[in-house]
């Protein structure tokens, strides 16, 4: 047995030699590239390094290899040949065993200012076949600069248990503003890496971040990370935003007005720390960074994330009921505006995302969008499960069960688990719902589902005279084209001054009397002779009026709903725990912070 023991020892020693890749990134203000150095232990055999072609969370090919230049390598301090194998791969030729020092430049596209946000996949290469090794990350920065990210700090750098974790923690670098808070034992940093920070109410941002931390900690019964970083770039806008989720951080384009949609984006990205990052389908990690993953679950991982991002803000009274209803309407209308919903299932929208954009992926879905479609599927399944179990179970419980099966670094879930869990809770009826709404294309039965919680979804169609462009009768009394046509035949602010020989009159205003007469003439089917003022010019135009249609949607409470139905809606709103009774606010409708 001695021989066996010896060989085990040799293997163990070899394994120790291969256990870590050290990264060092040098950033210089004003430079147009960063310098990356990797120290790779080697046994003398050739080593292949690769740059990812896509980033987890964004399912499209990005061709980062085009920005990688000057790849060189040393073995035992001697320069060795590096061969480009293909777009994404470089091979360091064999030689002496010991450390390989690989260096390359990553072009940034423009000169680096005094702040930089460095994402992992686009900038840091990996050693092929060795992504499970420990990593360290250090920076050489100009005097006065600092860095922050979700990775554990050790010494003067960061450590990660493997490459997947390393690159799922983008780094904000430079001279930047931060705010800090600690809740539930977890230190949070709010780092502003871009935009005009003075435009945003930082106290309000801290307040929203804290609320999101508290409400999600409550919903999930604990936080899954040891630290968390909100990386923000401020955009000059009243509402909205964009974001990308990471393991223990997020990168968000934050509208300076901090509208309700902006808070929704923040809650969405934080929710991803569970749903998609840790509760993930098997295809989503470990990754092949050169090929887009094939998973049919993005309707759940993205769409349902967005559904819960909004539902939780409503439950915890950051949103009021009207706003929640408006989100339901918006997602239903966006989903139904796409005719492809009759041809592509929510599952296929996700599974085939890599086929979108001529095989480059689009991070939104093949044929139909898995965000809004998944949102509506989530709503329908949630209500169905509540109805099937008399309120005993909901989609909350499906998420909790998946969390049990995925947490603490367990492997991802098999995609049929979502169906199985729902059937376990709500019976075969839930299987039918899943097979119909997730696996097949078609219209989602929103009206029927909402009635199960006492809401009536009402669409009313109204017709209008369509001139081919929108007009507005402004407070200055002029009737103008409010949006020009693409062919430039009509331009924004063209003013209509005469209709069928009837002029607007001597003064600048279109009087109510004239407006009434004009409207009488602007009937569908009519042909109008218009005089139009564009600058100093008067143009003559003939327009055939068509019949346009718009749909108004509202969600109305059913006054005649049964006590059971009302109880189901109450459960949907309150959730299983403290939802609906937030401890940080008095009850009642909450108003958003409007002042800067
Ligand atoms: Zn998302």
308-332 pLDDT tens trace: 999 999 998 899 999 999 999 999 9
Matching CATH number, 276-457+558-596, of 3.40.50.1970, 1.10.390.10, 2.40.100.10, 1.20.1600.10: 1.10.390.10
Instruction: Give the pLDDT score at 508.
Output: 66
What is residue 526's predicted lDDT score, i.e. its pLDDT?
Answer: 93
Q: Is the dihedral of CA 460, 465, 471, 472 positive or negative?
A: negative
**103 Cβ neighbours under 8 A, 6+ residues apart:** 35, 36, 37, 38, 70, 71, 72, 73
Distance 246 CA to ligand 1 centre (A): 10
pLDDT, residue 417, reads: 96
Range 383-400 burial, b when 16+ CB lie within 10 A, else e:
bbbbbbbebebbbbbbbb
- Token output for 20: 């870590």
ipTM higher than the 0.85 cut:
yes
Q: Measured in whole angstroms, how far is the alpha carbon of residue 47 from the centre of its chain?
A: 35
Predicted confidence at residue 111, as pLDDT, reads 96
- Superfamily for domain range 468-544: PDZ domain (2.30.42.10)
Q: Ligand 1 center to residue 430 CA distance, Å?
A: 25
Q: Which value, in Å, is the radius of gyration of the alpha carbons in the chain?
A: 29
State the distance from the centre of ligand 1 to the C-alpha of 48, rounded, in angstroms: 32
pLDDT of the residue at 73: 97
Residues of the chain within CATH 1.10.390.10 domain(s) are: 276-457+558-596
CA of 252 to the centre of ligand 1 (A): 11
Strands (E), 55-151: 68-75, 78-80, 82-86, 89-92, 98-107, 115-118, 126-127, 134-140, 146-148
242 Cα to the center of ligand 1, angstroms: 9
Spacing, Cα 309 to ligand 1 middle (Å): 10
Provide the CATH number for the domain formed by 16-174 in this structure.
2.60.40.3650
Residues of the chain with pLDDT under 50: 1-16, 578-596
Residues near ligand 1 ion, CB 5 Å cutoff:
302
**Residue carrying the six token digits 């879905």:** 365
- Where does the chain hold its CATH 3.30.2010.30 domain(s)? 176-273
Residues forming CATH 2.30.42.10 domain(s) in the chain: 468-544
CATH class of 176-273: alpha beta
Q: What is the DSSP letter of 300?
A: I
d(CA 585, CA 313): 13
How many angstroms separate the alpha carbon of residue 268 from the centre of ligand 1? 6
Q: Angle formed by the axes of helices 416-426 and 395-406, to 10°?
A: 130
Per-residue model confidence (pLDDT) at position 474: 72
The residues, ordered by sequence, that sit 6+ positions from 513 with a Cβ below 8 Å of its Cβ are: none
Domain with CATH 2.60.40.3650 in the chain: 16-174
Question: Looking at residue 584, what is its pLDDT?
Answer: 44
Distances in Å between the Cα of 341 and the Cα atoms of 234, 382, 438 are 35, 20, 11
d(CA 490, CA 586): 52
CA 539 from chain center: how many Å?
47
**What gap in Å lies between CA 432 and CA 82, rounded to an integer?**
56
């Amino acid at each position: 047995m001695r021989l066996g023991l010896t060989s085990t020892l040799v293997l163990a020693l070899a394994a120790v030699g291969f256990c870590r890749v050290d990264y060092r990134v040098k950033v210089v203000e004003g430079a147009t590239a960063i310098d990356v150095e990797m120290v790779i232990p080697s046994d003398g055999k050739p080593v292949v390094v690769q740059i990812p072609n896509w980033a987890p969370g964004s399912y499209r090919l990005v061709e980062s290899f085009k920005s990688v230049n000057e790849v060189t390598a040393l073995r035992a301090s001697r320069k060795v040949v590096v061969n480009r194998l293909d777009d994404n791969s470089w091979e360091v030729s064999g030689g002496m065993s010991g450390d390989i020092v690989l260096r390359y430049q990553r072009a940034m596209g423009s000169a680096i200012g005094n702040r930089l946000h460095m994402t992992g996949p686009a900038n840091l290469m990996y050693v092929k076949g060795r992504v499970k090794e420990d990593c360290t990350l250090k920076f050489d920065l100009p005097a006065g600069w600092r860095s922050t990210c979700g990775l554990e700090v050790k010494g003067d750098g960061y450590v990660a248990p493997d490459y997947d974790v390393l690159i799922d923690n983008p780094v904000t670098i430079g001279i930047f503003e931060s705010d800090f808070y600690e809740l539930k034992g977890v230190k949070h940093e709010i780092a502003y890496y871009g935009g005009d920070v003075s435009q945003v109410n930082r106290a309000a941002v801290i307040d929203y971040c804290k609320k999101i931390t508290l409400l999600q900690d409550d919903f999930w019964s604990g936080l899954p990370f040891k630290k968390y970083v909100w990386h923000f770039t401020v955009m000059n806008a009243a509402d909205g935003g964009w974001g990308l989720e990471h393991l223990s951080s997020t990168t968000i384009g934050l509208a300076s007005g901090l509208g309700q949609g902006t808070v929704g984006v923040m809650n969405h990205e934080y929710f991803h720390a569970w749903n998609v990052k840790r509760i993930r389908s098997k295809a989503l990690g470990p990754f092949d960074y050169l090929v887009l993953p094939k998973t049919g679950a993005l309707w759940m991982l993205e769409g349902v994330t967005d559904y819960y991002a909004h539902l939780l803000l409503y439950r915890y009274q950051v949103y009021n009921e009207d706003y929640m209803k408006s989100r339901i309407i918006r997602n239903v209308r966006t989903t139904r505006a796409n005719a492809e919903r009759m041809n592509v299932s929510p599952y296929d929208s996700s599974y085939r995302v890599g086929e979108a954009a001529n095989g480059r992926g689009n991070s939104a879905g093949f044929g139909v969008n898995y965000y809004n479609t998944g949102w509506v599927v989530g709503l329908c399944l949630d209500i169905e499960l509540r109805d099937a179990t008399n309120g005993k179970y909901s989609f909350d419980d499906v998420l909790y069960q998946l969390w049990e099966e995925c947490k603490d670094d367990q492997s991802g879930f098999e995609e049929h688990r979502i169906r199985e869990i729902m059937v376990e809770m709500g019976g075969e009826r839930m299987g039918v719902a899943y097979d119909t709404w997730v696996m097949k294309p078609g219209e989602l039965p929103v009206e029927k589902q909402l009635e199960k919680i006492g809401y009536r979804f009402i669409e009313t169609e109204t017709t209008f005279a369509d001139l081919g462009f929108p007009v507005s009768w402004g407070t200055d009394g002029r009737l103008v084209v409010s949006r020009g046509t693409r062919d430039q035949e009509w331009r924004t602010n063209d003013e209509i001054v005469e209709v069928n020989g009837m002029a607007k009159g001597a003064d600048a205003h279109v009087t109510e009397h004239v407006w009434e007469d004009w409207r009488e003439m602007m009937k569908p089917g009519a042909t109008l002779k218009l005089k139009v003022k564009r600058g100093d010019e008067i143009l003559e135009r003939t327009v055939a009026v068509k019949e346009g249609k718009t749909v108004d949607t509202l969600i109305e409470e059913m006054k005649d709903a049964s006590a059971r139905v009302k109880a189901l809606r109450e459960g949907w709103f309150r959730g299983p725990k403290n939802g609906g009774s937030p401890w940080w606010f008095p009850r009642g409708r909450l108003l958003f912070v409007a002042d800067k």
